[in-house]
């Protein structure tokens, strides 16, 4: 690439580079002391090392007993393996002590950039009337005014999976909107659900646009030939990744559908034995964690603490109240709601609320769709909206600083 071409590329992408650079600096500054060492839950680094050694069971003994699997005398990681695969080159270079906090920070900054790109894409497609400045406000909301902020600065297997799942989700949205790039959409969705399994249910975002495209401003059933072609391209990587994951499951636990959660020890293992991995029994617990959990009142300064089950998303991100009063409902609006509901339903029946957490971290799986709903719903970007965004940022900044450091906020 010639010097003028390089200069032109940087000029065209200066906004993108600035967003990524600023996001990375803010996340790193907030992470602070967490950056010094590998986190206390480096499961993906251990799985990556096992893959590099050509085996499925772990090569090294786990550093603690927190969510590792012991089965037939061997140690395993039960979390879906895509983040470990992505981490493999870094573990190959830096070894088992590779810093998963830095790794997660990078994807956190990438997510913030990708969210901005999604919002700008909605404008180009005529689905949003927001200005670039407005989209920057919503990008800041996503990156720093939701539980994304807290998850991005921690490392640890649970939060790393959440952050990387969002990375693939945002890439999926960019490819799937108007069903334009079915092969890429299928690939990114497959990588997303092999990071966070419930993201498989966000297939509705592509599927509804494929089966019911907009023709002449109206819903129409898709052309059969086009539907078949795009459907096949979309399905191919999904079936391939699903087949590899099932083979991976069977090779370790002799069951195509067993990730290893059934062999967890401690309270989680007991809950699974009594009620299963997903059950109605857990619904109220998760629903309360998502919508109703309040701060804990303390008898000392600062007099408020976060509930380890998480705080209501209406407290961590109060601007989400505006989702229920949109100014517009374009054709993408119901698709976004269907996708968001489908994506959050499985976690609501899951045996764990996300404990220990600052806010309800499972909501991060659908947060990109919620931010898109604000954009297509023509949220007025007035002083009150911006104030709510700033409040959301302040709450999550407090959480990002305090979480697993001091307990109370």
DSSP string, 25-47: HHHHHHHGGGGSS--S--HHHHH
**Strand intervals (E) in 301-380:** 304-305
Neighbours of 78 (CB within 10 A): 21
At residue 409, the pLDDT reads 42
pLDDT of residue 1: 56
**pLDDT of 45 strictly over 90:** yes
Task: Check residues 6 and 42 and name the one with the higher pLDDT.
Answer: 42
Q: Please, which residues bridge with residue 75 across strands? A: 70
pLDDT over 70 at 382, yes or no:
yes
State the Cα torsion 201-204-206-211 to the nearest 10°. 140
* CA dihedral sign of residues 356, 362, 363, 367: positive
CA atoms within a 13 Å half-sphere pointing along the CA-CB vector of 40: 6
pLDDT surpassing 50 at residue 214: yes
Q: Which of the two residues, 197 and 9, has the higher pLDDT score?
A: 197
Rounded to whole angstroms, how far apart are CA atoms 177 and 182?
A: 9
What is the pLDDT at residue 408?
41
The pLDDT value recorded for residue 267 is 83
Is 296 exposed, middle or buried (CB count within 10 Å of its CB: 0-12, 13-18, 19+)?
Answer: middle
277 contacts 258 by C-beta, under 8 angstroms? no
A 10 A CB-CB count for 94 gives 14
261-286: average pLDDT? 91
Secondary structure letter of residue 241 according to DSSP? H
Nearest to 116 by CA among 241, 23, 240: 23
Closest CA to 91 of 124, 144, 43, 52: 52
Contact (Cβ atoms closer than 8 angstroms) between residue 172 and residue 202: yes
In which band, very low, low, confident or very high, does the pLDDT at 297 lie, cut at 50, 70 and 90? confident
Residue 216: per-residue pLDDT: 57
Q: What are phi and psi of 340, to 5 degrees?
A: -65, -45
347's enclosing H/E stretch is helix 332-348
The answer, yes or no, to whether residue 271 has pLDDT greater than 50, is yes
Cis peptide before 254 (omega within 30 of 0): no
173 has a pLDDT exceeding 80 = yes
Q: Which whole number is the average pLDDT over 88-106? A: 97
Q: Please report the sign of the dihedral spanned by the C-alpha atoms of residue 344, residue 348, residue 350, residue 356.
A: positive
**221: pLDDT strictly greater than 80:** no
Which candidate, 198, 215, 114, places its Cα nearest to that of 162?
198
Q: How far is CA 202 from CA 58, 141, 196, 303, in A?
A: 31, 22, 11, 40
pLDDT, average across residues 257-265: 91
Distance, in Å, from the CA atom of 338 to the CA atom of 360, rounded to the nearest integer, reads 20
Higher pLDDT: 168 or 224? It is 168
Q: Which of 359, 342, 362 is CA-nearest to residue 351?
A: 362
Please give the Cα distance from 308 to 398 (Å, whole number). 15
Share of the chain above pLDDT 90, in %: 83
CA atoms within 13 A on the CB side of 151: 34
Backbone angles phi, psi at 265, to 5 degrees: -105, 170
Region of 404 (left: φ > 0; alpha: ψ -120 to 50; beta: rest) is left
As a residue count, the chain comes to 409
> Distance (Å, rounded) from C-alpha 344 to C-alpha 289?
13
Does the CA dihedral 11-120-150-155 come out positive or negative? negative
Closest by CA to 353, choosing from 274, 288, 302, is 288
């Amino acid at each position: 690439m010639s010097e003028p071409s390089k200069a032109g590329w940087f000029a065209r992408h200066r906004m993108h580079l600035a967003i990524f650079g600023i996001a990375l600096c803010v996340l790193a500054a907030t992470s602070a002391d967490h950056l010094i060492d590998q986190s206390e839950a480096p499961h993906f680094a251990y799985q990556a090392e096992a893959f590099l050694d050509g085996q499925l069971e772990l090569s090294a003994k786990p550093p603690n007993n927190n969510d590792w699997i012991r089965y037939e005398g061997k140690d395993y990681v039960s979390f879906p393996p895509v983040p470990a695969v992505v981490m493999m080159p870094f573990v190959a270079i830096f070894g088992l002590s590779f810093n998963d906090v830095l790794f997660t920070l990078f994807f956190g900054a990438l997510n913030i950039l990708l969210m901005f790109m999604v919002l700008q894409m909605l404008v180009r497609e005529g689905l949003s009337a927001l200005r670039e400045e407005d989209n920057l406000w919503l990008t800041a909301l996503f990156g720093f005014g939701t539980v994304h902020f807290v998850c991005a600065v921690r490392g640890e297997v649970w939060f790393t999976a959440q952050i990387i799942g969002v990375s693939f989700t945002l890439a999926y949205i960019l490819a799937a909107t108007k069903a334009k790039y079915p092969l890429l959409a299928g690939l990114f969705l497959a990588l997303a659900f092999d990071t966070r399994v419930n993201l498989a249910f966000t297939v509705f975002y592509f599927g509804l646009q494929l089966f019911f495209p907009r023709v002449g401003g109206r819903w129409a059933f898709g052309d059969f030939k086009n539907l078949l072609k795009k459907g096949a391209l979309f399905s191919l990587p999904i079936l391939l990744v699903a087949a590899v994951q099932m083979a991976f499951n069977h090779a370790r636990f002799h069951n195509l559908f067993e990730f290893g959660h059934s062999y967890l020890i401690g309270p989680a293992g007991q809950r699974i034995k009594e009620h299963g991995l997903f059950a109605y029994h857990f619904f109220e617990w998760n629903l309360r964690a998502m919508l109703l959990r309040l701060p804990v009142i303390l008898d000392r300064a600062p007099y408020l603490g976060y509930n380890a089950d998480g705080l209501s998303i209406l407290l961590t991100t109060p601007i989400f109240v505006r989702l229920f009063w949109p100014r517009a409902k374009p054709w993408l609006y119901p698709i976004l709601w269907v996708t968001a509901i489908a994506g959050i339903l499985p976690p609501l029946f899951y045996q764990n609320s996300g404990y220990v957490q600052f806010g309800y971290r499972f909501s991060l799986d659908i947060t990109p769709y919620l931010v898109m709903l604000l954009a297509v719903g023509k949220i007025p970007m007035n002083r009150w909206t911006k104030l709510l965004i700033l409040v959301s940022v302040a709450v999550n900044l407090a959480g990002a600083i305090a979480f697993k450091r001091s307990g109370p906020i």
